[in-house]
Structure 1
Amino acid sequence: WLKRYLNFGPERPLWCFVADELLAHRAVSADLNVDEALRYNTYLQSWAPYQSALNLKSKDLATMMAVGRKYGVRAEAIAIDREILDTMPIWHHKFSDGDRRLFNSPENVVSCLKDKHRLRWVKDARELANKAGSNRHTHRVDCRCAACRVTRAITGCGHPHKCYLKAQALLNSIEDKWDPRVMQPEDYIRKNLLRDQEPTAHEDENTADFDTRVTTKGTLADVFRIFTNDESNGAHTAPTTKFANEQQPMITVFTDGSAIDNDTEDVKAGAGVFFGDGDTRNKALRVPEMLGPSNQVGEVLAIKEAIEAAPLDAPL
């Protein structure tokens, strides 16, 4: 149920929209100052609904929300495609550091953005904020630049410049990783490697290039993760995956994992990494008990160690 609920695509079931309305209507008392019409989804925004079946008036909804808490479901990724970032709600954005005053004042500007500009999503705010840089734009209430004239004609906005600045303030409150205006890993394109190029195929089926792309693409449904830690542990910025101007030679590393007494309580597993004869990066590791020793875990651990030991500016 929860997975289907967090699917925001065109095939989203009708009951999910009903659930949205029910949850929005049952926000906790501390979040009653969040406009109910702008409470889209608690997983994407900073407001919270009641959790009990009694308060939600629905045992099914309470069970679904309990599953999310139990398994640590939250929106998280190493880096996110701009098309996804643009579809996040701008009001009470889950990863905004703004307080309630940011979203509620000044009241006349906020009301104008909500009611006249119909500002709802990050993309809306980004496009509106960009108008502040229009040719011949001024901060005057009667600014005659093309952007302001069109904005007034379409929305009836009384002071477009103030709305542009408020849209900028909303965007500026978002963590860098979730801000589509900020440089993202997808902007760093390795020399001779097109962004959408697939890893090179090899004749040896046991050999493959390591895919360095870290950006999550698709829809909002693709950014949700389970078994996440507390939100305070999340990275606020995407990693820099910028490579040197001169690409380094290809590095080939051999990895493997093995286990004895597999599928028993006495199982012991290890991982091996081999860069070459005499290479100080070569490793032989024992799989810790906390990882659940097995042949497969050993193989994954070996790959992890190889990736971390290899230079970032060389194809692997």
Structure 2
Amino acid sequence: MRICYGYHVLYSGTALLLLCYGLCVRADENTVTEHRDAGSSLTLPLGHPKESVTYAEWKYEGKTFAVYIQGQVRISDEPQFSGRLKADSDHLSVEVTDLQLQDSGSYSIVADKSGAQLPTKIISLTVHGKLIIDIESNQIWVESKKSCEVNLLCKVREDQKVSYTWSGYKNGSEAGLRFTLSPAEGDVTLTCTAAEVSSPSEGNNTRNVTCNPGVSNNQLHIWIAVGGGVALFLLIVIIAVICWWKSHRDIDSPDQGNTVYADVNDGNVRKDKRSESINVASIYETVDELRGTSDKPQTLYDKVTFARPAPLGPSPSSPYQVVL
């Protein structure tokens, strides 16, 4: 009994192990790994004949974005793929266009045949950003050779592990490329292609190179720097002169203004004094004042009383009382 029980446990364990192995193999067979560049597209075919499928769903991370029902593939309203899905009802497929980095993940296709579920197809997608490549160029004129020593350096902006390939005028398999170019060869074209090692993502850039006799890039940069420095110096001098001129003009302007206003104010003061004298004193007081300075009559009243002998009585307070 014990021996039989032991064999039974052994057989059960072996069967369970084989079943798990079969499921894993089955899952691996239905899983596909895809790599795409950003901006490219991915087609997701159903993988079953049209007549053998009654219903199907296309899912991204468990969310349905397309269904097949009643002979038509219909796109659902999924914000992530808005405007970027194309359905093909004849071939039972859905195409995701203009792939973005956030589209990376697991896609699954679930299909039914008369109520029985068919094997699920899984696509594991990785979207890679497009490689942006820069080419640095430097050349030195070698008088003895009457030619230029050209140095090119190809590099990607992102910190990624990539391989480089040069093509065109010269070939190479490294990031840097060095060669000799004479003026007689004219303008030459070189293309650098960088490919990511872990994915098919790649990018390229092209540079045209011409040998300039007697002038190197370093000398050209020096002359540009000198010219820029001279222009900056002249600009500072011009600004300083303008500021100095404005400051002296502002200092001189108030003195001239004060002189003009002083002349005008003097006349106003004199005019105001005369006006004040007329306003404060009466006409009779003005006549009395003038009588002290002139022997001739100044007014009608003064003429009536002029040269008349003074009365014997007490002196009146006003000459007009005598006339009355």
If the TM-score is normalised by the length of the shorter chain, which range does it land in?
under 0.3
TM-score when normalising by structure 2: 0.18
Which structure's CA Rg is the greater one?
Answer: 2
Structure with the largest fraction of strand: 2
TM-score when normalising by structure 1: 0.18
Structure having greater relative contact order (Cα 8 Å, sep ≥ 6)? 1
